[in-house]
Amino acid sequence: MPVSEFSLIYRYFSALGRGAAVDLSVGDDCAILHLDAGERLATSVDTMVEGVHFPADSFPEDIGFRAVSVAASDLAAMGARPLGMTLALTLPAADELWLQTFSQGLAEAVSEYRLPLVGGDTTRGPLTITVQVLGALPSGEALLRGGATVGDVVYVSGYLGDAAGGLAVLTGQWQPTPDHAEYLLHRFNRPRARLALGRELLGKASAAIDISDGLLADAGHIAAASGVKLVIEPELLPLSPALASHASAGQVRRWALAGGDDYELCFCLPATAQAPPGCTRIGEVVAGEGVDCGPGLDIAPGYQHF
Ligand code: ADP
Ligand code: MG
């Protein structure tokens, strides 16, 4: 990429790099972040490809915010404290208006999550956004998928299925009332990483995962990693008024069980523990394997790329 294009990008991204853990940000060969004494580093990376993870005509602001949320959601699911992130950006062209609005969405996420942008890489090619997140965990603590035990209660945060409903609105398959449409589109375009909840669950939850591929698929990961069965009662799933306004209760249930992109947390607590506000009990952990959500549900598994 020519120097002028790089300096453009540098202009939009180098101002987002300040944070409590950042010793050195954008501009050198590496960024330097520090951990507090007794902490461990948690890291994860997620890629979003235009046309696969978001529609080609999405607003650049939403693309930027969403890319950070998707990556930060993995820190939430581990209970980690956000330290910073890096951004590998592949762009078809150095379009200044696009970069400006994209970086506005990034800036909103940087500020909301306190997740400074400390470095990255910029290349030319089909629009692809990769965000690596870095977080801190107290030594010996982490929210893992593998700790659920028989007798635990299964919870989710927020509402389920909204992003899938939003995608249906976006693709013209569903036309709810304008206010419901606006809410659902927002839930798809602007998912929130549940970072505060994750940190609150640290040391309390026996297992946790963020719901990126749909509740059934992701609860299945907890079941497999923990060597248990999760029994989920579909009638307990938390539904937003907007999603529930769909004429088909069956469609709503399919979205809530199998729709991805909500980025809420699914977690297990011992039966004696109290769930944080905003979380809903949806089932329990029993002996066995897999996820059981009752008979008569014809639902495809979560999205898989290959
Ligand atoms: P190098 O050749 O050492 O990999 P680069 O030329 O790729 O360095 O990048 C120069 C500086 O700009 C580095 O500090 C890098 O982290 C930062 N940078 C490049 N692209 C981005 C981006 N999209 N977002 C944030 N920082 C970036
Ligand atoms: Mg580089």
Domains in the chain: ranges and CATH: 5-138 (3.30.1330.10), 153-292 (3.90.650.10)
Distances (CA, A) of 207 to 30, 79, 95, 147: 34, 11, 43, 5
Atom 22 of ligand 1, nearest CA residue? 120
Tell me which residue has tokens 């520090």.
Answer: 34
Q: Mind spelling out the 3-state secondary structure of 143-208?
A: CCCCCCCCCCEEEEECCCCHHHHHHHHHCCCCCCCHHHHHHHHHHHHCCCCCHHHHHHHCCCCCEE
| Identity of the amino acid at 274 | Q
Instruction: Choose one of 3, 22, 100, 122 to mutate for the ligand 1 pocket test, by most ligand atoms within 8 angstroms of C-beta.
Output: 122
306 residues of the chain, pLDDT tens digit each: 555 677 888 888 989 999 999 999 999 999 999 999 999 999 999 999 999 999 988 999 999 999 999 999 999 999 999 999 999 999 999 899 999 999 999 999 999 999 999 999 999 999 999 999 999 999 999 999 999 999 999 999 999 999 999 999 999 999 999 999 999 999 999 999 999 999 999 999 999 999 999 999 999 999 999 999 999 999 999 999 999 999 999 999 999 999 999 999 999 999 999 999 999 999 999 999 999 998 766 555 455 556
Q: What is the CA(2)–ligand 1 centre distance, in A?
A: 14
The pick from 1, 25, 28, 121 for probing ligand 1's pocket by mutation, whose C-beta has the most ligand atoms within 8 angstroms, reads: 121
Single pTM value for the model: 0.94
Residue 9: what residue type? I
Would the CB of 120 count as within 6 Å of ligand 1? yes
